[in-house]
Amino acid sequence: DVIGKFHPHGEQAVYSALVRMAQSFSSRYPMVDGQGNFGSIDGDNSAAMRYTEAKLTPYAMLLLDDIDQDTVNLKPNYDGSDEEPEVLPSSVPNILANGTEGIAVGMATNIPPHNLVELCDAISYLLKHPNAQTDKLLKYVKGPDFPTGGIMVEPQESIIKTYTTGRGSFRLRAKWHKEELDRGQYRIVVTEIPYQVQKRALIEKMAELFNNKKMPFLESFQDMSAEDIQVIIYPKSRNIEPEVIMESLFKLTDLEVRVSLNMNVLNSRSVPSVMSLHEVLNEFIAHRREVVTRRLNYRLNNINRRLEILGGLLIAYLNLDEVIRIIREEDDPKAEMIERWKLTDLQVEAILNMRLRALRKLEEFEIKKEDKDLKAEKKEILSILKEQEK
């Protein structure tokens, strides 16, 4: 479906994207719920597409919320045979939540994933304090939040500068702890590794350094990972501090990496620029305002149309015998009704399409109730559209 309608690039490009969106170690909030083999953190490949199945996750549905309610503009697809949205009416700031990276002509972007709850807290704060700058927002957004965990070791001043300028990098380390053994011995257990580091490649690198006598402080190590990461490291002597061992490993292997941030994004006018955290969140708020406004206007138009129809049906109930006579005897009942009761075309069509069973007395009460409910909803929508705060 994607290849046929939106993406004329062959199935492998589309399938690779689908696989990545299903990997919980690649996406902070996976958008595809995959069944079958979708690869592993070791770097194993996924199964061929004939062996896997996929559907959207609830998170992905948030990106498509209300897309059928005229919330976004549509444009022709690549061959003009169909339409596609210019932008999704997303109710989550996905570009920050899931992050993205890519290289275009003459420019690149690299945005690490973030915690959605933190982003929502920052957006709530920004709505109340529109002029709040990035350093205030970083009380809520602590920094990147990776699906594979890890610990960010970066001074606060550096984090503030990176998010204010939209460019910079973070040091990300594996998470580890010391486990006491018998006779004063201990071992180190690594439970989280940095983002996008393949575990198998990491273990192979450690083995190579160990065999080349580059890690004389180690007795041995083993990978005991199953669902969770568990790399166990045994020191040569209990007198060596575990911090010294880990500092050496951070220097020699990918147990520590640098993650870059380059928030080069398209703004609402489709102009690329490097933005601060404050600017990106403001763009998202503006996008949501437009989506919600369009959604409410769409609902308002539907309510007005329905109220018009209900008004016509109530007139028909009040003059039921006359309506039936006109339909039975007049050559042009439509023109006659428009003339007699000053009805609109839409109202007369609704009356003429009414079923006989709808002529029960009970139906009249239901129409009056629906009319009352819709007028109350219309009043509420108009009050929301009037107040920017709401």
Contact 277, 134 (CB under 8 A): yes
CA angle 78, 82, 86 (to 5 degrees): 65
pLDDT tens digits, 252-280: 999 999 999 999 999 988 899 999 999 99
Over range 374-388, report the average pLDDT: 94
Q: DSSP string of 256-282?
A: EEEEEEE-EEE-TTS-EEE--HHHHHH
Residue keyed to tokens 């008004």: 311
Cα atoms in the 13 Å half-sphere on the side-chain side of 110: 12
Contact 250, 171 (CB under 8 A): no
Model pLDDT, residue 363: 80
pLDDT tens digits, 130-164: 999 999 999 999 999 999 999 999 999 999 999 99
Rounded-to-integer distance, Cα 153 and Cα 150, Å: 10
Rounded-to-integer distance, Cα 149 and Cα 139, Å: 20
The pTM assigned to this predicted structure is 0.88
Rounded-to-integer distance, Cα 205 and Cα 197, Å: 12
**From its phi and psi, is residue 156 left (phi > 0), alpha (psi between -120 and 50) or beta?**
alpha
CA angle 265, 268, 272 (to 5 degrees): 30
Of 371, 311, 378, the closest CA to residue 346 belongs to: 311
Model pLDDT, residue 10: 85
**Which residues make Cβ contacts (< 8 Å) with residue 254, sequence separation at least 6?**
193, 194, 197, 201, 202, 205
Model pLDDT, residue 215: 87
Is residue 127 helix, strand or coil?
A: helix
How large is the C-alpha radius of gyration of the chain? Answer: 31
Of 291, 242, 263, 385, the closest CA to residue 63 belongs to: 291
Q: What Å distances lie between residue 187 and 177, 237, 251, CA to CA?
A: 9, 10, 19
Of 5, 248, 258, the closest CA to residue 144 belongs to: 258
Model pLDDT, residue 227: 84
The answer, yes or no, to whether residue 93 has pLDDT greater than 80, is yes
Rounded-to-integer distance, Cα 32 and Cα 2, Å: 14
Rounded-to-integer distance, Cα 236 and Cα 192, Å: 23
Model pLDDT, residue 46: 95
pLDDT tens digits, 156-181: 999 999 999 999 999 999 999 999 98
The answer, yes or no, to whether residue 118 has pLDDT greater than 80, is yes
Q: What Å distances lie between residue 40 and 20, 36, 262, CA to CA?
A: 11, 12, 27
Strands 175-180 and 53-56: unpaired
Q: Count of CB atoms within 10 A of residue 387's CB?
A: 8
Mean residue pLDDT of the chain comes to 93
Q: What are the φ and ψ backbone dihedral angles of 271, each rounded to 5 degrees?
A: -105, 125
Q: How confident is the model at residue 360 (pLDDT cuts 50, 70, 90)?
A: confident
pLDDT tens digits, 211-240: 998 888 888 999 998 888 999 999 988 889
The answer, yes or no, to whether residue 35 has pLDDT greater than 80, is yes
Model pLDDT, residue 3: 86
Tokens of 56: 């959207």
The answer, yes or no, to whether residue 302 has pLDDT greater than 90, is yes
Over range 49-77, report the average pLDDT: 95
**Which residues make Cβ contacts (< 8 Å) with residue 369, sequence separation at least 6?**
none
Q: How confident is the model at residue 355 (pLDDT cuts 50, 70, 90)?
A: confident
Among 51, 78, 234, 298, which one carries the catalytic annotation? 51
Q: How confident is the model at residue 4 (pLDDT cuts 50, 70, 90)?
A: confident
Q: Count of CB atoms within 10 A of residue 246's CB?
A: 19
Strands 32-35 and 53-56: antiparallel
Q: How confident is the model at residue 364 (pLDDT cuts 50, 70, 90)?
A: confident
Contact 319, 341 (CB under 8 A): yes
Model pLDDT, residue 76: 95
Note if 51 is an active site residue: yes
Model pLDDT, residue 149: 93
